[in-house]
């Protein structure tokens, strides 16, 4: 296919679903900070002035969960009733309970290295050479638009912006190279006293143009700002938010498969999270090593079993050595037991609130983004080719 369009979306910190993700992960961080062995599955629902927490937690730690929730919402920017949600005056309903003993017994082991997967399921990781971050370009720039939105809002550069926002980027490719931004959509909550014309001009000049490469913005590029009109009521006042409802935003923007399991609010014994992180780590190192320009890894898990029960790799015809050889290199260079994944990727460190907005992948602040295996993979692949 010589020319094609691809579209991805992102959402801002104040989107109700993302608020729920951030609250769930802030609570997870609170437990891991005090008890690295905590087992956490925390879900959050927001609507109107209410927050509902539910799920299962096994931990020796205790702390003020309500304070964590309120602080998270304030940091997002919902700190007064005129914005549609007020962290100080919302209702919290806490339905968190204990983890099932059957599940707890299945995943715990006398020897930590035999720790079993917290559930069955499949997880995917993906990387490509479209960007220096080894991420799909449309998703990467959709995230950057939302990061810029948060910056100009919180710095008061555009002080009429409110926290709820969404972006969507449609890029035209020739082969695998971006040649144009076909359409850019940005919808943002705002104060009632700003006109649509003022809003549109400000968003284009202060958010879209500073983020999108100028070479992509052609004369026929469509820049759509609040295409449905005024967006005054947002956040939980306008829509229900729920943990785990933005899994494509969280991963690869539709460019790769998804196993179905959400990430936020889950400790790393849940392979929905840790399995997806290590799969990304593997895929990124393979692309960084030059063994393929696209790579998708599938890992399958069984509850209570320490390592994946199957591994699959797809390179979409972009591989530089046989896929069977790449699979052999994966098995040689990557430890894939739950225990080793958690240790090698430092997954007990409480950093998860940072993952809950702007994607879990593509930012080098996370250890699963390191490419420390790439050089050795490249050398071993070269030796294997020479030997053949």
pLDDT digits (tens, 9 = 90+) for 110-161: 456 778 888 889 999 999 999 999 999 999 999 999 999 999 999 999 999 9
Per-residue pLDDT reduced to its tens digit, 266-275? 999 999 999 9
pLDDT over threshold 70, residue 102:
no
Q: How many Cβ atoms sit within 10 Å of the Cβ of residue 328?
A: 15
Q: Which tokens is 386 given?
A: 């020479």
Higher pLDDT, 85 or 384: 85
Q: Which of 42-46, 92-96, 105-109 has the lowest mean pLDDT?
A: 105-109
d(CA 40, CA 36): 11
Q: In which order are the strands placed within the sheet that holds 39-47?
A: 91-97, 50-58, 39-47, 241-242
pLDDT over threshold 60, residue 84:
yes
Model pLDDT, residue 388: 59
d(CA 126, CA 364): 15
Helices (H), the chain: 16-34, 65-76, 101-107, 137-154, 196-203, 209-211, 247-250, 271-288, 323-333, 338-344, 352-355, 374-387
Helices (H), 50-136: 65-76, 101-107
In residues, how long is the chain? 388
DSSP-assigned letter for residue 294: E
Model pLDDT, residue 171: 98
Contact 184, 221 (CB under 8 A): yes
Of residues 92, 90, 67, the one with CA closest to residue 80? 90
DSSP-assigned letter for residue 282: H
Residues 6+ apart with CB under 8 A from 219: none
DSSP-assigned letter for residue 83: G
**Buried/exposed code over 363-374 (b: 16+ C-beta within 10 A; e: otherwise):** beebebbebebb
Contact 284, 367 (CB under 8 A): no
Per-residue pLDDT reduced to its tens digit, 310-334? 999 999 999 999 999 999 999 999 9
pLDDT mean over 185-213 = 97
Model pLDDT, residue 151: 98
pLDDT over threshold 70, residue 1:
no
pLDDT over threshold 60, residue 287:
yes
Q: Which of 80-94, 197-211, 307-321 has the lowest mean pLDDT?
A: 80-94
Contact 153, 1 (CB under 8 A): no
Model pLDDT, residue 100: 59
Model pLDDT, residue 94: 96
DSSP-assigned letter for residue 325: H
pLDDT mean over 276-295 = 98
Of residues 163, 142, 153, 150, the one with CA closest to residue 235? 163
Higher pLDDT, 388 or 67: 67
Q: Which tokens is 58 given?
A: 């096994």
Of residues 29, 62, 69, the one with CA closest to residue 45? 69
Per-residue pLDDT reduced to its tens digit, 347-373? 999 999 999 999 999 999 999 999 999
| pTM of the entire predicted model | 0.95
Cα angle 337, 338, 344 (rounded to 5 degrees) comes to 85
What is the overall mean pLDDT for the chain? 94
Model pLDDT, residue 74: 96
Model pLDDT, residue 107: 54
Model pLDDT, residue 260: 87
pLDDT mean over 50-71 = 96
Burial status of residue 205 (CB atoms within 10 A of its CB: 0-12, 13-18, 19 or more): exposed
d(CA 322, CA 226): 48
Of residues 131, 353, 120, the one with CA closest to residue 252? 131
Helix (H, G, I), strand (E, B) or coil at 10: strand
Q: Positive or negative CA dihedral for 283, 286, 287, 292?
A: negative
d(CA 202, CA 222): 16
Of residues 103, 96, 39, the one with CA closest to residue 266? 39
Q: Which of 34-48, 73-87, 100-114, 184-198 has the lowest mean pLDDT?
A: 100-114
Model pLDDT, residue 101: 53
pLDDT band at 109 (very low <50, low <70, confident <90, very high): low
Q: Which tokens is 295 given?
A: 């790579």
Contact 166, 7 (CB under 8 A): no
């Amino acid at each position: 296919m010589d020319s094609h369009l691809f579209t991805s979306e992102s959402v801002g910190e104040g989107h109700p679903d993302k608020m729920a993700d951030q609250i769930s992960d802030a609570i997870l961080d609170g437990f891991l900070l005090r008890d690295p062995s905590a087992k956490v599955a925390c879900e959050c629902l927001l609507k109107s002035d209410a927050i509902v927490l539910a799920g299962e937690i096994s931990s020796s730690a205790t702390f003020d969960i309500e304070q964590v929730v309120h602080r998270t919402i304030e940091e997002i920017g919902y700190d007064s009733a005129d914005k549609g949600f007020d962290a100080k005056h919302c209702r919290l309903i806490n339905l968190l309970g204990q983890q099932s003993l059957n599940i707890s017994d299945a995943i715990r082991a006398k020897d930590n290295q035999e720790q079993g997967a917290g559930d069955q399921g499949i997880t995917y990781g993906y990387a490509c050479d479209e960007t220096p971050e080894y991420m799909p370009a449309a998703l990467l720039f959709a995230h950057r638009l939302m990061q810029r939105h948060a910056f100009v809002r919180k710095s008061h550069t555009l002080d009429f912006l409110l926290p709820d926002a969404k972006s969507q980027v449609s890029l035209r490719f020739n082969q695998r190279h971006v040649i144009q931004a076909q359409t850019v959509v940005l919808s943002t909550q705002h104060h009632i006293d700003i006109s649509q014309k003022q809003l549109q001009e400000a968003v284009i000049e202060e958010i879209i143009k500073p983020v999108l490469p100028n070479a992509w913005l052609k004369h026929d590029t469509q820049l759509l700002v609040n295409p449905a009109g005024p967006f005054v009521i947002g956040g939980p006042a306008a829509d229900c938010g729920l943990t785990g409802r933005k899994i494509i935003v969280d991963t690869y923007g539709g460019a790769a498969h998804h196993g179905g399991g959400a990430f936020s609010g889950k400790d790393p014994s849940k392979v929905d999270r840790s399995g997806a992180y290590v799969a990304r780590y593997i895929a990124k190192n393979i692309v960084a090593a030059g063994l393929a320009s696209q790579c998708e890894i599938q890992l399958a898990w069984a509850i209570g079993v320490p390592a994946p029960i199957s591994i699959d790799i797809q390179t979409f015809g972009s591989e530089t050595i046989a896929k069977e050889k790449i699979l052999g290199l994966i098995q040689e260079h990557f430890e894939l037991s739950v225990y080793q994944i958690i240790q090698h990727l430092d997954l007990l460190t409480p950093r998860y609130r940072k993952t809950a907005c702007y994607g879990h992948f593509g930012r080098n602040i996370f250890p699963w983004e390191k490419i420390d295996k790439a050089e050795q993979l490249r050398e071993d692949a070269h030796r294997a080719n020479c030997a053949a």
